[in-house]
Chains A and B, each alone.
Chain A
């Protein structure tokens, strides 16, 4: 068939404006459902990865038994000596962290709330990429000084923090803030010196230098090959310790969230529900449209159109119907992401990848509905129209 043929699918789609509006609204609802689920999933991953992405190092040493970064599983401080003996290393900074034992007394409700805590030697090179931490880490050398995360959930009162409050029932002085943001496990973060950490960690009697560390943040000398240094560290350290590059650490964390945490399946299930609802809505729309035009399709068969043309036409119309619902849903999704992102302090972003995935799912559900509905057209009997 030559180009410039009658665009039957498009004409059928736009023939009845009210019908198109109803169809678009129905499909947009399902697409929005998928976009929200997919957006939450992405935000969940992005938020979960923020803490490791902000670590400032070329290599990281952690306990090999650690199944995700956000769990406390420290290793002995003395291993630092072995690390420092490996050639090519510019600096090694111990990072202390805890996600379960620090309770911040919020000035908002005067109640203790669980926060995550990162601690390091303020005199050592920065372990975080965040300039606010690097710039203010000298302030942490004063007694009981802490930096707080201004993007923490609002009920923690860190957005406009008080000059002093309590952390594990000990008075701390808030000397500055940084912007990291919460994730699905932690509502907010506090950064402090290693000395204060040993003091506030419940049940701890070990001083700095004896307290096990969560990770060693290693910077290599300029020009050093990361893989080669990683190999040297592996040779020097016991197998109970793992050595990761920055991308490996990010991937390690992503893999845990994707495969081991319960969050990812929940979001995928939500997306699947959206897909199923969308398929049903699309099927209803397409089936009803085809039913109304059955004599016309039968006439086309009668005058010599092949079933393949009819299938193409119906599937094109199904895809266009999906697009007609997708576009408003995408625009609405931008607004929803903005609103929910601001409220929940989650990095909800309409990325190109998210757009591509949701568009593919939308076309998938429309085409699936079209395939289910097209049987009616194939079965249309042209003899009945005489």
Chain B
């Protein structure tokens, strides 16, 4: 079988996909007329409320369920027309990250990863090396010989991710892959996935509710009641806009103003311990935390800690008065920075935004 796919051919091609569980009066429609493409190298995030059909869609794309109606092509293969034996082979080209890690307790972390690698025909030494390398890449090198029972939930999940990615698959289907991971591990995993999309052209379709992933996603597909409710391809401004939409009071801006503000925001990185703003200084910028955590100090006392999705520095920007607190990054931190003039412009355009920002300012101070 030809394992290559034509240049630019979509990694996933779905047309008119319908799927239902049960029969007769117990029949429950899970997917309605779903159509989309995922090109190679794209990291797409699938969101939606529980029961919206996300997981059903993943299982159909992974060849784990029998198709009922519609076209599903995965890595150039029409899944509906593949015999069962070839469907098994087709699954070997997909990296599955399941919500449950499902590792063999009897095997070490490295052996669990090797189980996936042994589906190929690489020499044993190469398999062992690749398993260790992938665990190392996910920060698990020192736990490679540990049994899953001796690992934390997050470590087990990282082993499962290593198992899924060890073969360097052309397509990754993931269901809440970062649910059990802490911030650093999440950053690590997402970095690896992003790297695979860029360097190897791996397509990733990920079900997640983790808004941190939005920063890295190329595309957001939102499902409601078995249908695609929105399908947004994100450039950098788009990613900022999607992020701002999740942050009060920016969510009050209309789409055009939000886009305008997003286009002017810049992403800035801060190292742990770095002072971002200092009490008493003039403030020209406000900061929206995309990733990481900061501590807010007044008179050398910590008064608050802020995390991803929260913002600071809005007081000076609005009032023109000096900073009333010092803010220090407690860990590696990324923030979207919006300048005073841009906020003023947005406030001028949207009275509701102005009102909400003021109300928020009053509530905080």
List residues of chain A with CB under 8 Å of any chain B CB.
1-6, 8, 11-12, 14-15, 293, 295-296, 298-306, 381-383, 385-386
Contact = CB atoms under 8 A, between A and B. Distances in A.
Given A11-B107, A15-B105, A303-B164, 5 more contacts: A2-B123, A8-B106, A295-B102, A303-B163, A386-B55
A143 to B, nearest CB: 79
Instruction: For the complex of A and B, list the 8 residue pairs with the smallest distance between their C-beta atoms, beginning with the closest.
Output: A15-B106, A304-B92, A4-B124, A11-B106, A383-B64, A299-B102, A304-B91, A383-B59
Contacts of A300: 115
B88 A8 contact: no
Interface of B: 55, 58-59, 62, 64-65, 85, 88-89, 91-92, 96, 98-100, 102-107, 111, 114-116, 118-119, 121-124, 127, 163-164, 175
B19 to A, nearest CB: 11
Nearest to A294: B102
A291 B300 CA distance: 58
Given A5-B124, A386-B55, A295 B100 contact: yes
Contacts of B62: 302, 386
A296 B156 CA distance: 13
7 contacts: A2-B118, A2-B121, A2-B127, A296-B103, A301-B88, A306-B85, A386-B55
B91 A302 contact: yes
Nearest to B163: A303
B91 A6 contact: no
Contact of A383 (B65, B102, B127, B164): B65
Nearest to B106: A15
Nearest to B164: A303
A191 B361 CA distance: 120
Contacts of B59: 383, 386
Contact of B107 (A2, A4, A6, A381): A6
Question: Which of B115, B116, B164 gathers the greatest number of chain A CB atoms within 10 Å?
Answer: B115
Question: Which of A8, A299, A381, A385 gathers the greatest number of chain B CB atoms within 10 Å?
Answer: A299
Nearest to B107: A11
A300 B122 CA distance: 18
Contact of B88 (A296, A306, A381): A306
B1 to A, nearest CB: 14
A17 to B, nearest CB: 12
B64 A382 contact: yes
A333 B91 CA distance: 50
Question: Which of B102, B114, B121, B127 gathers the greatest number of chain A CB atoms within 10 Å?
Answer: B102
A381 B85 CA distance: 15
Nearest to B91: A304
B102 A385 contact: yes
Contact of B104 (A14, A296, A301): A296
A28 B289 CA distance: 64
B178 to A, nearest CB: 16
A5 to B, nearest CB: 5
Contacts of B175: 386
Question: Which of B85, B111, B121, B122 gathers the greatest number of chain A CB atoms within 10 Å?
Answer: B111
Question: Which of B104, B122, B163 gathers the greatest number of chain A CB atoms within 10 Å?
Answer: B104
Contacts of A301: 88
B96 A303 contact: yes
Contacts of A302: 62, 64, 91, 96, 98
A1 B115 CA distance: 11
A382 B63 CA distance: 10
Contacts of A15: 105-106
A299 B104 CA distance: 10
Contacts of A4: 124
A296 B98 CA distance: 11
Nearest to A300: B115
A171 B108 CA distance: 80
Contacts of A386: 55, 58-59, 62, 64, 96, 98-99, 175
A381 B91 CA distance: 14
A301 B96 CA distance: 11
Contacts of A304: 88-89, 91-92, 119
B99 A8 contact: no
Nearest to B125: A4
Nearest to A3: B124
B82 to A, nearest CB: 13
A303 B119 contact: yes
A8 B116 contact: no
Given A15-B106, A302-B62, A386-B64, A6 B115 contact: yes
Contacts of B118: 1-2, 5-6
